[in-house]
Amino acid sequence: MLVLVLVALTLFPASARKHPPEQGTATYFPLKSIVYILPYEICSDYWFRKYGDRIYYYVYGNLSQDKWAIEEDFQIISSIYRFVIIVLPAEDSKLYFKNLNVINQTADEFGLRVIYAIFPKEKYGREDRYLDPGSKMHKLVLRDMKYLLSLNATYKVAIWYGWEYRDNAEDIVNFYFSLPEGMRPGYAIWLDEGYTESAEETYELGLPENVLVITELYSKNLIKKYSGLYPNQMVVTGYSGASSLKEWRNGIESLLFPCKTWKVGIWIFYDIGDGNGEKDAAFIDGGLSDFLFNPIIKPHPQPKRRKNSVLRK
């Protein structure tokens, strides 16, 4: 066993294990992350009942007071994962930024990198208006991104996208180029499950292929169909209703069997009794289970750029 461990450490040094190579390189070491919203010890439906969504915990909660519970969870998470996904709304209160600093400090303490997923909500108007430069929502999201990207544990900041009335790849590209150049490498696109194909034309319109695209895919068929759609893609998926860690692991491994990307996010650390009505918790009987998957990596063809598309600066 010791020999195997030493061989693994030689093949995958600490830097590679913590910061896996970008897609397109010869070696693929799975990047595993897990979604986190409410701490296990204080999980309740309070935030859902009072504000309509559990993610408002990061706006109105006191994470400094709850740090002990977050520390317990992050210690468990760090035994398997190197990345944690924090889902939160766009906001600009002092308490909000203070709470995010608590997440950063705790993640750093346990060697975790953070992917922040901003589901914009409607602080200053309709949430899709964050796509419109100059709007109050656009300014709010950029302010949040700037702060989050300044934190040392941050890996990416993903912004949610998915509306029936506004499904346009050009919007995504324009938003990307509305970002200050220094913020662009930290940006990721988060596509709701029904909008997996929404960003497919973005490369033709000039979006760089290295922009991370996060797609929610909760069935084996969807993972098989869409997990290799983007050159730099993360699949977020989850297994619902598991009564044991063994059942959860078998379910996740079955879901990921046809996966074509080496970046995977698990939905969710814990969600029992949080008011959302889902039961996708990976944290069962006081623990988490690791899982195996062997992504089927195929090279992506070079995207065809439209004649009128320009790689803007």
pLDDT tens-place string over residues 29-44: 789 999 999 999 999 9
**Quick check: 100 pLDDT over 60?**
yes
**Domains of the chain, earliest start first:** 27-266 (3.20.20.80)
**Quick check: 275 pLDDT over 50?**
yes
Distance, in Å, from the CA atom of 188 to the CA atom of 212, rounded to the nearest integer, reads 5
Predicted pLDDT of residue 177: 98
**pTM for this entry:** 0.89
**Quick check: 8 pLDDT over 90?**
no
Distance, in Å, from the CA atom of 104 to the CA atom of 84, rounded to the nearest integer, reads 11
pLDDT confidence tier of residue 306, bands split at 50, 70 and 90:
low
Give bridge partners of residue 159 from the DSSP assignment. 118, 189
Which run of H or of E encompasses 266?
A: strand 263-266
- Three-state DSSP state, 88: strand
244 residue type, one letter? S
pLDDT tens-place string over residues 147-190: 999 999 999 999 999 999 999 999 999 999 999 999 999 999 99
Predicted pLDDT of residue 15: 36
pLDDT tens-place string over residues 30-88: 899 999 999 999 999 999 999 999 999 999 999 999 999 999 999 999 999 999 999 99
CA distances from 234 to 24, 263, 296 (A): 14, 5, 14
pLDDT confidence tier of residue 23, bands split at 50, 70 and 90:
very low
Rank 5-9, 13-17, 113-117 by mean pLDDT and report only the highest: 113-117
Average pLDDT over residues 128-134: 97
